[in-house]
Structure 1
C-alpha cells in the first residue's frame, strides 16, 4: 500500500491525541480526546475547527476559463445567482458537479470567481490531478490550469459562534465580515486573489469563504501551507473560552449527513447524476424543465434517467450499521431493493412525537425545555424504485436490521444560511 500523505497539521494532530486513519490518501484525524459526539455538538452549539488541507485546489486563469468551466461544470455560470438567476459575480462561489460524457460523476466541486478571468475550483482529496487533467482534455485556448494541491493550507471554522471567533483573529474584521453572504469569498494570497484583501492580525494574507461541509454557519480559510499551523493555533486560542473544539472526520461525516450533503465517490459516483437529492447542482431552465445550457454529460442525463434512486433516511433511534459490500436495503417484506451508501448517527437530533427536533430547534418550533437528544441514525440509500417521503424500509448488514424512514430533510434548523448580522 502506498504511504499516506500528510497535511501541514499532521504533527499537531499526533501531539494532541488524535485518533488517525487514512482518508483520500491522507493520514487524517478521525476524532480527538473529547470524542466525536462532543465535536459534533460543539459545531451545533458553539464552533469547531477542521483540518481540510487534504482538499485539492485548482486555479484557472485566462480569458477562456469561464467558457471552459461553462461547458465542463454542471451549474450555469450565467444563470445561478439569486431568484433572478443572474451570472456568477466576482467574489461568489457555486456548488456543482463535473460529469463524464455518460453522465456519471467525476467529482463534485465549488467553483469560485476570484476576478474577471481568474477562478478557483475546490475538489476532493486526491482529485486535483484527475479533475485538472479532465479540464485540460476539454480544451481551453489560453487557459492556464494550476494544481495547488499540497501547496496550500486550509481549515474550516464552523458553528454559530464562528464569526465571533473569526473577528478576534482578523485585521479590521468589520469591513471583511460586513454583509458577507453565504457562498461569498474575499481576500487571497499569491496568485489566488480577489479584489478585496483580507489579513490576520499578524499580517498573514488569506482567502476567506463563507462556506463549509456541516450545514452550519461558518467559513473556510485558505492560506499558504507554512501559515496553516499558526492560523490553527491562533483560532483555537481565540475560541477556547467559547467552547471551540478541534474536530475530526467522524464529526464532519455525521454533520454533513444530517445536513443532507453528499460524499463524492460514495453517495454520488459512477452512476448517472439523476434521481437524487442534489439536482439543484444541475442547470435547470425556467420552470424546472430542460437545461439552460449544454454541458458535458447533459445528453446522457436527458437520454437515460436511469433506474437508481438515491434517498435520504432517518432512523428512530441512534443505532446504525457499518456500510460495506454486504449492506443492503429491504422493503418490509424482506425483499432486497438496494444498498446503503452512508449510515451515521447525528447526535444533535431526536424524535419528539411525529417530528425530528435538533438542539438548535427553537422552543416555539417544538424543542422541549428538557430536550436531551439520543441521536438518530441517518444517511443515504440507493434503491431500484422511487419511494415516497415517510415510507419505511429496513437497512441491514446481515447482523442488525434497522427500520428507517425516507426523508426529504434530516437535521432541522441548520444555521448555514443565517444572515451574518445575526451571528455576530
Structure 2
C-alpha cells in the first residue's frame, strides 16, 4: 500500500490504520470515531487527505476540454444567475463514460483562462488523465498533468476551523475577505504546483480552498509535501484551546453521509448517472429537460428510461447494517426493492417529536435545551422504484432488520455555506 507524508505521524499517535484507495490511512485515532465526528460539529477536526489525486490542465483549449468531459457547465455554474467559472472559484461535478456511468467525481479549480486544477479521488489521477487525453482533438493545445503524490493536502472542518487557521496565517483578514463557499485563494505556479497567495507565519506558501467533505464550515489546504507535517502540527497546536483533534476516514464517512454527499464508486458508480440526489451536477436547461451543452455521456442519459433510483435515508436509532452480498432493501411486506449503498451513523442527530434535530440546530428549529443526540443511521439506497420522502423501508443483512425513512435531507443545521464573517466574528 502507498502512504501519505503524514503516515508516520498517524502511527505514532496510535491511529487504527486501514486500506483505502490503495493507501494505508487512519480510520480513527484513540479518541474514537464518535468523538471525531462530534468534534467537527461542535469545534473542529483535521483530516489527512493527501491520498486525493491532483491534476492540472493547461493550454488555450483546456476550458474546452473540461466542458467536453465534465458534467457541470463551467460557462454557467456560479450563483443563482449561473455565471461562468472564473479565477478564484471552483465547482463540483462528474466525469462520465460514454455509457453514462461515473468514472469519478471531482472539483475543478480555475486559476486563469488557460490554467485549471482538478481534485479527484485516491488512485484516480492516472485514470482521469487518460480519460481527458483520449478526448483531446488533434488540433487542440492542452496539457494534462497528473500530480499524484506531489501535492500535500489536508482538510480542517468545523465551526472553529477559521479561527484556528487565522492563528497561523499571515494577514488572515486579507485571506478570508470575500471568501465565499467554493472559492479559493491561490495562484498557478509554472512548476505545475498550485500554491502561493496565502502564507503561514513561517513563510510557507499554501493554497486555501473554502470547500470540504463534511457539510460543515471549513477549508481544504494544499501545500508542498515537505511542509505538510509542519502545517499539521501547527494547526493542532493552534487549535488546542478550540478542541481541534485529528480525524480518520470513519468520521469522514459518517459526516459526509449525514450531509448527503456521495462516495464515488459506492453511491455513484458504473451505472447510469440518473435519478439521484446529485443531478445538480448535470447541465440542465432550467426551462426544459434538455442540456445546455454537449458532454461525454449525454446521449446515453437522454436516451435511457428510469430503472433505478438512489435516495437518502435516515433511521430511528444508531444501529446500522453491514454492506455485503446479503444486504437488501425491502418494503414493509418484505418485497425486495434494491440494495443499500451506504449505511453509517451520524452521531450528531436524533429525532425529537418525529423531526430530525442536530447539535448544530437552533432552539427556533426545535432543538431542546441540553440536547444530547444518540445518533441515527443514515446513508443511501439504490432501489427499483421511486419512493416519496417519508416512506418507510427495511434494511436487512439477512439477520438484522432496520426500519428507516426515505428522506430529502438528513442532517439539518449544516454550516458549510455560512458566511466567513459569521463564523469568524473577529475579522
**TM-score tier after normalising by the smaller chain length:** over 0.9
Secondary structure of the equivalent of 2:186?
strand
1:208 aligns with 2:205: no
Partner of 2:264: 264
Alignment of 1:299-338 (within 5 A): 299-338=299-338
Partner of 2:423: 423
Structure 1 residue 179 displacement after superposition: 1.3
Task: Point out the more displaced range, 358-367 or 298-307.
Answer: 298-307
Q: Which stretches in structure 2 are left out of the alignment for 5+ residues?
A: none
RMSD of aligned Cα (Å):
1.0
In 2, Cα distance between equivalents of 1:88 and 1:288: 23
1:72 aligns with 2:69: yes
Structure 1 residue 408 displacement after superposition: 0.4
In 1, Cα distance between equivalents of 2:123 and 2:256: 20
| 1:135-155, Cα deviation, whole Å (9 max, x unpaired) | 000015221111111111100
In 2, Cα distance between equivalents of 1:170 and 1:122: 23
In 2, Cα distance between equivalents of 1:7 and 1:54: 6
Any conservation in 1 of the 2:88–2:186 contact (CA below 8 Å)?
Answer: no
Any conservation in 1 of the 2:14–2:29 contact (CA below 8 Å)?
Answer: yes
Structure 1 residue 305 displacement after superposition: 3.6
Task: Point out the more displaced range, 10-19 or 77-86.
Answer: 77-86
Secondary structure of the equivalent of 1:66?
helix
Task: Point out the more displaced range, 286-295 or 338-347.
Answer: 286-295
Partner of 2:117: 120
Q: Which stretches in structure 1 are left out of the alignment for 5+ residues?
A: none
Alignment of 1:90-239 (within 5 A): 90-140=87-137, 141-188=140-187, 190-193=191-194, 197-239=197-239
Q: TM-score, normalised by structure 1?
A: 0.98
Alignment of 1:8-87 (within 5 A): 8-87=5-84
Structure 1 residue 193 displacement after superposition: 4.2
Extract structure 1 runs of 4+ deviating beyond 6 A: none
| 1:183-228, Cα deviation, whole Å (9 max, x unpaired) | 001124553448x711111111111100000000000000111111
Equivalences, count: 420
Partner of 2:399: 399
Any conservation in 1 of the 2:212–2:219 contact (CA below 8 Å)?
Answer: yes
Q: TM-score, normalised by structure 2?
A: 0.97
Partner of 2:4: 7
In 2, Cα distance between equivalents of 1:103 and 1:192: 32
In 1, Cα distance between equivalents of 2:406 and 2:351: 14
Structure 1 residue 23 displacement after superposition: 0.4
Partner of 2:296: 296
Structure 1 residue 288 displacement after superposition: 5.2
